[in-house]
Amino acid sequence: MSNLSSIPTPGVARRSPVVTALLSIAILLVLASPVAAATSSSAALTIARYAVATASHERPARVVTAADVSNAVSITSVNPRDLILEFNLDVVFGFGRTILLIDQHTFANTCLDLPNAIGAAPKIIPCTAQAVGQWQSRSSALQLSGRAIAAAAARGRAVSGADIVRTNAAWHLHLVPAPTFAAGQGGTVKFASKVSFQGQPAITIDICVKMPRTAYGIAVQVAC
């Protein structure tokens, strides 16, 4: 089983899976230097604090949301280092209060926890393999699911397990097991991948996606 982001995507020919994996690791996991990491962390914390302030100064005050974070990131005076919001609140399954910001100049990455409480102070936390792996694997699983749904809709029906298997022939994701549900049943598909960070023992990332019962429906990530 390949490492995170080594799975080829249709339409991106001639890019080596090894190169893709190395690029992903370089972007998400490397801290260029202790000084750069500290600077990026401080900038990320400023963004998170601004987002919390936006929510807590409303009337009535409320808990910070993904919209507040996106707004803070977009303000150049709040985000002068132009940090990239890799994932926002309520996006990564099991890490709903975690955000990931990346310094595009140093490749330093900073994860923060924004508590589900009004005015609660954000804090920097370790970027775990589980959180980053969920984010990366989720994208491939949902893209594959969407293509299978569209292919089935072109034939005038809802997606089936066989459609998922056929679409996966070009993606090579690991299906656990290969789905067999009929069109209109709306089965759940489980995708698994192995992720290894910086020489640490590999972990398995499971992504479960619920398929729609109708044609042109939307696949939704669910708990495995």
What number of other Cβ atoms are within 10 A of residue 193's Cβ?
24
Q: What is the pLDDT along the chain (224 residues), one digit of tens a residue?
A: 333 333 333 333 333 443 334 334 333 443 334 445 558 999 999 999 999 999 999 999 999 999 999 999 999 999 999 999 999 999 999 999 999 999 999 988 899 999 999 999 999 999 988 898 899 899 999 999 999 999 999 999 999 999 999 999 999 999 999 999 999 999 999 999 988 765 667 889 999 999 999 999 999 999 99
Q: What is the pLDDT of residue 13?
A: 35
Name the residue with tokens 């000084």.
35
Question: What pLDDT is recorded for position 33?
Answer: 43
Which pLDDT belongs to residue 7?
A: 36
Q: Write down the residue that tokens 């996991």 correspond to.
A: 29
- Rounded to whole angstroms, the Cα distance separating 205 from 4 reads 9
Which is nearest to 99 in space by CA: 107, 72, 197, 110?
A: 110
CB environment 148-183: b (16+ within 10 A), e (fewer): bbeebbeeeebbbbbbbeebbeebebbbeeebebeb
